[in-house]
A and B are shown apart, each in its own frame.
Chain A
């Protein structure tokens, strides 16, 4: 059965303290892994798509990487405005449907 697991559930960092969020997945034939950011009371906002092991993408302080079994979202020198819930999702087979993890709630304190 296709599954996405994110860890940790919550993470508290000091401003400037780098860390990584994990997304492990079980899917037959990965056809895309997506990272989203969600602010309280809002819909998820697209960040990255990764397709194959070894692929990396960057945006400001965020870098997403992919292996055959998991993806990491690395946050370098985070700022308070990076505080949000980060969601990971994978495509289900040949469909356009996604399976989401339950997210990591990141809090960055000044």
Chain B
């Protein structure tokens, strides 16, 4: 079974703090994704990585950056957390070949106060 592990289930941070969200997958997947999920808005793609050290902006990258130094690990960084970044963050991974099923972690619920 594919396993995607997010380091924290719940986080509470203060405005202006630098926040790191970590994601690890154990299936040697090439592609990894970070989404945020908000009520009424669904899942929105923040960043995408298709290989080590390679990244691509998604639909809402502002205020976020990412790091992928190793194939199994994809980190999401909030450089200076703001209250509008309070959300559920979901990491996913998939192979580079069809059928490209995305497998998700359990999510990190981040509250920025």
Contact = CB atoms under 8 A, between A and B. Distances in A.
Interface of A: 32, 34, 36, 41-46, 49, 87, 89, 91, 96-98, 100-103
Interface of B: 4, 31, 33, 40-45, 48, 50, 58, 90, 92, 94, 96, 98-107, 109
Contacts of A100: 42-44
Given A97-B58, A102-B42, A103-B42, A42 B107 contact: yes
A43 B44 CA distance: 14
Given A43-B107, A97-B58, A102 B94 contact: no
Nearest to A98: B102
Contact of A45 (B33, B99, B104, B109): B104
Which has the most chain B C-beta neighbours within 10 Å: A36, A46, A49?
A46
B41 A102 contact: yes
A32 B100 contact: yes
A31 B26 CA distance: 26
Contacts of A49: 99, 101
A26 B101 CA distance: 20
A91 B106 contact: no
B100 A96 contact: yes
* 3 tightest A-B CB contacts, nearest first: A43-B104, A102-B42, A100-B43
Contacts of B102: 34, 46, 96, 98
Contacts of B4: 43
Contacts of A102: 40-42
Which has the most chain A C-beta neighbours within 10 Å: B92, B103, B104, B105?
B104
Nearest to B90: A43
Contacts of A34: 101-102
A32 B42 contact: no
A96 B31 contact: yes
